[in-house]
Amino acid sequence: MAYETIIYSVSGPIAEIRFNRPHRLNAVVTEFYTEVIDALDRAEKDINVRVLVLTGEGRAFCVGADLKEHGAGTRTELEKLEYLILGNDVCERMIKHNKVIIAAVNGFALGAGAEMSCAADFILMKNTAQIGFPEVSIGTHLGGGVTEVLPRLVGLAKAKELIITGRRIDGVEAERIGLATSVFSDECFAVGVAEFAELIATKAPYSMRFAKELLNDMHQDFNARLTSELSALRTCMLTRDWKEGVAAFAEKRNPVFTGK
């Protein structure tokens, strides 16, 4: 599939979705969402991909909805609803994706851009990048499950502050409050993201998949979680990667996992 609003590429075990509307600071339109979902599906079906990186072309990650398109008033009420549902669908697909997803926030991540960042497993930011939730400040509301995910990342009080005030924070503060995993200077950002993605790509795919699934499952009680962990462990023990991990530990070497 040829994309108009994103660039999808694969290099070894790492796939990248690069938002490609730099003339609009990667603002979201309907086609953007449908293309991101298609690329997420491609990465999920590719057995060679272990890590997926989302980032933006130009000086923004994604500044949210394209208000110029919204303001044109040419969409029907049904089209507006479909657009909103697509925004939720993207975040849901990211959270439930069977690969680890990194949001490489290279610039402004606002509104939908911040929501997609929160749906990723890791947020890596430039120290000059800014992330924020402006929805309440402009009389609308945020989506993508942020009201559940953000408090888990930064705590309820800080989540309320960021959402209700709409205050933007830079990469340094995002790391300090636990929203960002790592922050890099502008000149070190690309290398830092690549090294982090490469590290994740060395881990056992089945083990990562189960860990992500259980960590993102916010609704199991403790007994159910113990049962789920046991099931994941038993499944991992049936794989070649489990045998490789045990052998590598005994031989004091780094394991080489194959996803089998």
How far apart CA 107 and CA 186 sit, in angstroms, is: 10
Active site residue 115: yes
CA-based nearest residue to 179, from 97, 235, 105 = 105
Give residue 112's identity as a one-letter amino acid code. Answer: A
Out of 16, 57, 115, 175, pick the active-site residue.
Answer: 115
Contact, 193 vs 136, CB < 8 A?
no
Active site residue 135: yes
Contact, 127 vs 105, CB < 8 A?
no
Contact, 170 vs 129, CB < 8 A?
yes
Contact, 43 vs 101, CB < 8 A?
no
DSSP string, 44-55: HH-TT--EEEEE
Out of 135, 173, 198, 251, pick the active-site residue.
Answer: 135
Using DSSP, state whether 178 is helix, strand or coil.
coil
How far apart CA 28 and CA 12 sit, in angstroms, is: 29
Question: What residues are annotated to the active site?
Answer: 115, 135
